[in-house]
Structure 1
Amino acid sequence: MSASSPATDGILAPAKINLNLKIVGRREDGYHLLDSIIVFTAFGDRILVQPSPQDSITIDGPFGDMLNEPPSENICAKALTMFRLAGGRIGPLAIHIRKDIPVGAGLGGGSSNAAALLRWLQENADGAVPDVSLSEIALSLGADVPACLAGRALQMTGIGETITLMSTAPHGRILLASPRVFMPTKTIFTALAQSDFAIGEGANAVSQSSAGSVAELVARGNDLQPVAIEQAPIIGDLVQQIETQTGCVAAQMTGSGSACFGIFETAEQSDAAAALLAGQGFWTVSTRF
Structure 2
Amino acid sequence: MGQIEVFSPAKINLFLSVLGRMENGFHELASLVAQVDFGDRLFIDWEAADSAAVELSCDDPSLPTDSGNLAYAAAEGFLLRSGLKWRVRIRLEKRIPHGAGLGGGSSNASAVLTALGKLAQEAGELGLSRGETLELAAELGSDCPLFLDQKPKLMRGRGEVLSPVFGAAAEDLVGRELLLFKPSFSISTPWAYKTLAATEGAYDQREWAEERLAAWSSGDLDLSQLLHNSFEKVAFPKYAAFDPLFRKMKGYSLECLMSGSGSSCFALLSSSSNVALLEGVVRDCWGDRVFVKRAKVLG
Q: Same fold (TM over 0.5)?
A: yes
Conserved in 2, the CA contact under 8 Å of 1:15 and 1:40?
Answer: yes
Equivalent of residue 224 in structure 1, options 231, 237, 251: 231
Equivalent of residue 38 in structure 1, options 33, 36, 39: 33
Report % sequence identity.
28
Equivalent of residue 61 in structure 2, options 37, 59, 65: 65
Amino acid at match of 1:110: G
- The CA distance in 2 between the partners of 1:254 and 1:90, in whole Å, is 39
Shift of 1:124: 1.4
Shift of 1:214: 2.5
CA distance change for structure 1 residues 110 and 216 in 2, over 3 Å: closer, same or farther?
same
- The CA distance in 1 between the partners of 2:273 and 2:46, in whole Å, is 42
Residues 154-209 of structure 1 deviation map (CA, whole Å, 9 limit, x = unaligned): 10001111111111321311000001212121110111125202332323322456
Does 1:272 pair with 2:277? Answer: yes
Q: Which runs of 5+ in 1 are unaligned?
A: 1-8
Conserved in 2, the CA contact under 8 Å of 1:23 and 1:33?
Answer: yes
CA distance change for structure 1 residues 95 and 207 in 2, over 3 Å: closer, same or farther?
same
Amino acid at match of 1:24: L
Does 1:56 pair with 2:55? Answer: yes
CA distance change for structure 1 residues 55 and 243 in 2, over 3 Å: closer, same or farther?
same
CA distance change for structure 1 residues 50 and 180 in 2, over 3 Å: closer, same or farther?
same
Amino acid at match of 1:254: S
Amino acid at match of 1:241: K
- Report 1:76-155 matches (<5 A): 76-87=71-82, 89=84, 91-125=86-120, 126-155=125-154
Residues 188-239 of structure 1 deviation map (CA, whole Å, 9 limit, x = unaligned): 0111125202332323322456334321332xx1111121223322233333
CA distance change for structure 1 residues 77 and 157 in 2, over 3 Å: closer, same or farther?
same
Larger radius of gyration: 2
- Report 1:125-274 matches (<5 A): 125=120, 126-168=125-167, 169=170, 170-171=173-174, 172-193=176-197, 195-200=201-206, 201-208=208-215, 210-212=217-219, 213-218=222-227, 221-244=228-251, 246=252, 248-266=253-271, 269-274=274-279
| Number of the residue aligned with 1:3 | none
Conserved in 2, the CA contact under 8 Å of 1:179 and 1:238?
Answer: no
Q: Which runs of 5+ in 2 are unaligned?
A: none
CA distance change for structure 1 residues 166 and 90 in 2, over 3 Å: closer, same or farther?
farther
Shift of 1:278: 3.6
Shift of 1:25: 2.8
- The CA distance in 2 between the partners of 1:151 and 1:178, in whole Å, is 23
Moved more, 199-208 or 177-186: 199-208
- State the TM-score, normalized to the length of structure 1: 0.87
- State the TM-score, normalized to the length of structure 2: 0.84
CA distance change for structure 1 residues 271 and 149 in 2, over 3 Å: closer, same or farther?
farther
Shift of 1:29: 2.9
Shift of 1:144: 0.9
RMSD: 2.2
